[in-house]
Amino acid sequence: MLDLKLLRDEPQRLAENLEHRRAQIFDDLPTSEGGWAQATIDRIAALDARYRDVLAEGERVRHAQKETSEAMRDVGKLPKPEQAAARAPLVEKGRELRDRERELTTEAETLQLERDEAFARLPNLTHPDSPRGHTDDDHRELRKWGTPRDFAAEGFEPKDHLQLAEALDIVDFAAGAKVTGNKFYYLKHGAVLLDLALQRFAIDVAQKHGFALHITPDLARVEMLQGLGFNPRGESTQVYSVERSDLCLVGTAEITLGGMLADAIVEPSELPLLLCGLSHCFRTEAGAAGQESRGLYRVHQFTKVELFAFVEGDLQVSETMHARFLDIEEEIFQALELPYRVLDIASGDLGGPAYRKYDIEAWMPGRGAYGEVTSTSNCTDYQARRLRIRHRTYDGDGGSKGKNRFCHMLNGTAVATSRALVAIFENHQQADGSIAIPKVLQGFAGIERISPRT
């Protein structure tokens, strides 16, 4: 959620940002129509103005109520015979005020709800350097690392990860489909060791960089999802809900890590707070049928080691941390010996909470293209505002207390095992159909290669 001050003081800035983000808020103001962004902001601003009027009126009435009730208290000091007569008009007035106050409160709540529903859907502001646009071509490639293998020179045709997995009998989609459903799978044999080794390695790197290790719940309250900017409801939701409860399966440990500090006010000395979380991730992938749907690339469940940070509510600080997150992600994929490129994601593809987002795409020989393997976002104070996560400030050197500020929050993938498996299978396949385990994982996996079972 954004700061309401922006709506009141700089509505044109919000309209401009909304235009770049291409986020439709109202059904009757589609992004295809000219001036939709400005009209959207105008409508929310009008709601806010009405809300504040009603709120102020309600407060005046409540103040009058207090006065009446204080007068009633003094009635008790009068001589007994006079009390009843003095009390009657006050009771009458109190009743009127009560009724009026209830009306106004109800109206204010309705207006506030209406305003917040729309306002909370407005996306975060956008980093000035983020490329503007809303297609895949609009992302800016920052750099490439590594060189894709020349399989022709090595004298064999590379297989895609699915062919490799089937031949090696290390992933079973048929059983996954039978027992659970399409896009579920069993990992088997060497893939299990490799998956666990990836987790273990990523955790190692995170710990080395000062992240506190966590294994988080795989479910979270709807309220937490919303606080972090996820929308658990609606047809196009990516989120699985648990029936007869207010719980959802998490799509990422970002939710469970970010939610940990909800409602907290932390001391600046505790920042930056670096957390690493291991969790399963569940995604409905609604509407994703057809596209890149083969194999492990897009599945309903995978395991992920997530990096998360709470930092001071200061852009310079969070941007520095964001660069650090990207560094760590690159360190991991370099260690895995996977060629990749880094993208600065375009405004229209950022997702609500993100102020800026970098994706790492690993080379995937099977599809002859780069495919997303990590993503790191600086969400600034967008999530913190909704979750009420603040830190204290002090003026000068250990000086007096200043105003509490919302923390900035960042998240990033250390490793999502399913996608990493795709990249490792395909990049490290050998002419004989086996898969070489990257050196950094061999100790954790206990094997050096996944070979056909005999």
By the criterion CB under 7 A, which residues form the site for RNA? 4, 52, 55-56, 59, 62-63, 65-66, 68-70, 72-73, 76, 90-91, 94-95, 97-98, 265, 390, 392, 398, 400-401, 403-404
Cα separation values, 92 from 17, 68, 71, 95, Å: 52, 10, 13, 5
62 vs 189 by CB, closer to RNA:
62
Q: How far is the CB of 214 from RNA (least distance, A)?
A: 17
161 vs 385 by CB, closer to RNA:
385
Q: How far is the CB of 401 from RNA (least distance, A)?
A: 7
Q: How far is the CB of 125 from RNA (least distance, A)?
A: 18
64 vs 317 by CB, closer to RNA:
64
Q: How far is the CB of 414 from RNA (least distance, A)?
A: 26
93 vs 188 by CB, closer to RNA:
93
Q: How far is the CB of 109 from RNA (least distance, A)?
A: 7
| Mode of pairing for the β-strands spanning 265-266 and 340-344 | unpaired
29 vs 262 by CB, closer to RNA:
262
**Ramachandran sector of residue 28 (left: φ over 0; alpha: ψ -120 to 50; beta: rest):** alpha
48 vs 329 by CB, closer to RNA:
48
Q: How far is the CB of 185 from RNA (least distance, A)?
A: 24
56 vs 288 by CB, closer to RNA:
56
Using only C-alpha atoms, the chain has a radius of gyration, in whole angstroms, of 28
59 vs 117 by CB, closer to RNA:
59
Tokens of 161: 């990860």
Identify the CA nearest to 327 among candidates 125, 129, 142.
Answer: 142
Q: How far is the CB of 311 from RNA (least distance, A)?
A: 17
Q: How far is the CB of 388 from RNA (least distance, A)?
A: 7
